[in-house]
A and B are shown apart, each in its own frame.
Chain A
Amino acid sequence: MVLASDIQVAQNVGFGIIALMMVLAGVGVIASRNVVHAALSLVIVMAGAAAQYVLLAAEFVAVTQVLVYIGAVMVLFLFGVMLTRAKIGKDADLNNGNAAVAAPVALLLFGVMVYVLGKGFTDQELPTSDVRPQYTATISDLIFKPYLLPFWALSFVLLAAVIGAIVLARKD
């Protein structure tokens, strides 16, 4: 049973505000008529995700989100967009004709995520009192001890992607 004293009002209000902001910015990403505006809306979505991680006491993941997505991916993305097609004002031909295919795929992905999360956590509740942030050392101990092999495998995938990008980009 959920007691009133178990509900953390501040966290819930914070979650609501951030979630609303993320949804609005997410709509902005697809509805905007300007590439740079869409990219900046995406930045807000990513920042919101980082803020939600902080609410979940996952500091390290939150900081990784900021460093990787906002600091690197989005900056490179904006860099590329501004270098190639960065008109100020509205852009008429931003939407392409694949909306009919994309919508069912998006719905399917949403369904899969809802199913997996519901199945994975069923009716578990997060501990409401005395939530301590996960220490970075704990995470690194997990990565470099029991999960070392998957970590290596992922590193090789990334390395292959990097080499592939260089091969594709080099024309000579």
Chain B
Amino acid sequence: MILAVDLPYWAQSLLRVLGGTVAVLLPAGTIVYLFLFKMMSFMQSRLGPMEAGPYGSLQLFAEVGKWLQKEDISPEHADKRIFRAAPLVVLVSTFLLVAVVPFGPDAYFTDFDAGVFYMLAVSSISTLGILMAGWSSANKYSLLGGLRAAGQLIAYELPMVLAVLGVVIQAGTMNLQTIVVKQNSDAIFGFDGLGNPYILTQFVGFMIFMIAVQAELTQTPFDMPIAESELVSGYMTEYSGFRFLIFFIAEFATAGVFALIASVLFLGGWGVPFSWFGWDAADTGSIDNWMNIVGPLIMITKMVVLAGIIMWVRFSYPRFREDQLQRFAWKVLIPVSLVNIMLTAILKVAF
């Protein structure tokens, strides 16, 4: 399909699985090396890993090798089956999320009509995995961490849904592919040289979405669930070896996937403004085939920028208190996003 060859169904499925794995692991690796190792070190006036490979670029492989060698320990009183399944549930949620992200005019995994809705639904599955991990560890710190995580994820899912609604109203569709096409083919007051990325009209929604993503990922201003000075390591306390590695990969892969989704919703996704090349918005077949190669590159660039912002905030701010976090979600973010929805709807009808 992408390279203009007809593949049998099994080969397409195999390619999709491979593509999904790459789309999950590549952002995770990029974020960990670029931001967690290098940017964090730079901001703290140190070098970070330098020994493995040039500038420590092979450090990731060394780390993965180290984690894979470690013994798979589970506590004696733990609920073994659930304890073992929990990291996988979290990782499955990440893989389900990447399935709706479009990377090019034909380079997508599924063309899902209710894509935005699906994205919000499957992102909440990871909460289940975190609760399972916290409970089954037979450890008070883990249980507290799991409960904190669940409370936080429930509280911040609402502003996220409401922030995305503004984009859905403006685009008039929940299909992520159509949202990308709309952003790149619309015009700002008749000027179509830039398309109409929704960050311009939905800036409030974009800010709320990014804050909610920061909370959903339990990255630092919102990292009460794994607050190391209070709860050791929250729901991850008892995990070691490759199960810890799975939690670790899932955390950063989800950061990458959310950055991809944010770029699709607000920054125009894989597209370049269609007026540059005279493509027709109503007919995706008119888009040149090379977009299937350039599109993913554009997406990765936007992903790195947005993930960089997420990590930048993570390294810069101290932790919220639990009650401040809940008050912020319910008393600030949700009212603001409701007003945003109302204004968007009124303006949509007016214009």
User: Are A and B genuine complex partners?
Assistant: yes
For residue B135, which residue of chain A has the nearest CB?
A: A82
Contact A82/B120 with A66-B125, A133-B113, A136-B113 known, Cβ cut-off 8 Å: no
A7 at interface (Cβ–Cβ under 8 A)? Answer: no
> 8 Å CB contacts to A: which residues of B131-152?
131-132, 134-136, 138, 143, 146-147, 150-151
A interface residues, how many (CB within 8 angstroms): 28
Docked pose: A133 CA to B114 CA in angstroms: 10
B121 at interface (Cβ–Cβ under 8 A)? Answer: yes
Which stretch in B75-83, B285-293, B298-306 binds the other chain? B75-83
B242 at interface (Cβ–Cβ under 8 A)? Answer: no
Docked pose: A139 CA to B175 CA in angstroms: 15
B248 at interface (Cβ–Cβ under 8 A)? Answer: no
Residues A40 and B125 in contact, CB atoms below 8 Å apart: no
B interface residues, how many (CB within 8 angstroms): 32
Contact of B143 among A34, A71, A82, A136 (CB under 8 A): A82
Which stretch in A73-81, A113-121, A146-154, A157-165 binds the other chain? A73-81
Interface SS majority for chain A: helix
Most buried by A among B112, B135, B146: B135
Task: Specify which chain A residues have a CB less than 8 angstroms from the CB of B131 in the assembled complex.
Answer: 75, 78-79, 82
Task: Specify which chain A residues have a CB less than 8 angstroms from the CB of B143 in the assembled complex.
Answer: 82, 86
A72 at interface (Cβ–Cβ under 8 A)? Answer: yes
B194 at interface (Cβ–Cβ under 8 A)? Answer: no
Residues B113 and A79 in contact, CB atoms below 8 Å apart: no
For residue B174, which residue of chain A has the nearest CB?
A: A136
B271–chain A nearest beta-carbon distance, Å = 22
A135 at interface (Cβ–Cβ under 8 A)? Answer: yes
Proximity string of chain B (141-175) to chain A, C-beta cutoff 8 Å, 1 when within and 0 when not = 00100110011011001000000000000000110
Residues A67 and B151 in contact, CB atoms below 8 Å apart: no
Residues A66 and B121 in contact, CB atoms below 8 Å apart: yes
A36 at interface (Cβ–Cβ under 8 A)? Answer: yes
A31–chain B nearest beta-carbon distance, Å = 16
Contact A67/B138 with A75-B124, A82-B146 known, Cβ cut-off 8 Å: no
Task: Specify which chain B residues have a CB less than 8 angstroms from the CB of A82 in the assembled complex.
Answer: 131, 134-135, 143, 146-147
Task: Specify which chain A residues have a CB less than 8 angstroms from the CB of B157 in the assembled complex.
Answer: 71
Residues B82 and A75 in contact, CB atoms below 8 Å apart: no
Residues A83 and B82 in contact, CB atoms below 8 Å apart: no
Docked pose: A46 CA to B156 CA in angstroms: 23
Contact of B128 among A34, A43, A135, A136 (CB under 8 A): A43
Docked pose: A76 CA to B153 CA in angstroms: 11
> 8 Å CB contacts to B: which residues of A72-111?
72, 74-76, 78-79, 82-83, 86, 88-89
For residue B175, which residue of chain A has the nearest CB?
A: A136
B279 at interface (Cβ–Cβ under 8 A)? Answer: no
Residues A72 and B124 in contact, CB atoms below 8 Å apart: yes
> 8 Å CB contacts to A: which residues of B204-227?
none
Docked pose: A137 CA to B132 CA in angstroms: 36
Docked pose: A170 CA to B39 CA in angstroms: 48
Contact A59/B154 with A66-B121, A67-B120, A67-B121 known, Cβ cut-off 8 Å: no
A70 at interface (Cβ–Cβ under 8 A)? Answer: yes
B182–chain A nearest beta-carbon distance, Å = 14
Docked pose: A158 CA to B78 CA in angstroms: 39
A84–chain B nearest beta-carbon distance, Å = 11
22 contacts between A and B (CB under 8 A): A34-B79, A40-B132, A59-B118, A60-B113, A67-B120, A67-B124, A70-B121, A71-B121, A72-B124, A74-B128, A75-B124, A75-B154, A78-B131, A79-B131, A79-B150, A82-B134, A82-B147, A86-B135, A88-B78, A88-B136, A136-B174, A137-B173
Chain A to chain B: the 10 pairs with minimum beta-carbon distance, closest first: A71-B124, A67-B121, A66-B121, A63-B121, A136-B114, A63-B118, A88-B79, A63-B117, A79-B150, A75-B127
Q: Name 12 extra pairs, CB < 8 A, besides A66-B124, A79-B147, A83-B147.
A: A37-B82, A59-B112, A63-B114, A63-B117, A67-B120, A75-B124, A75-B131, A78-B131, A78-B150, A88-B135, A136-B114, A136-B174
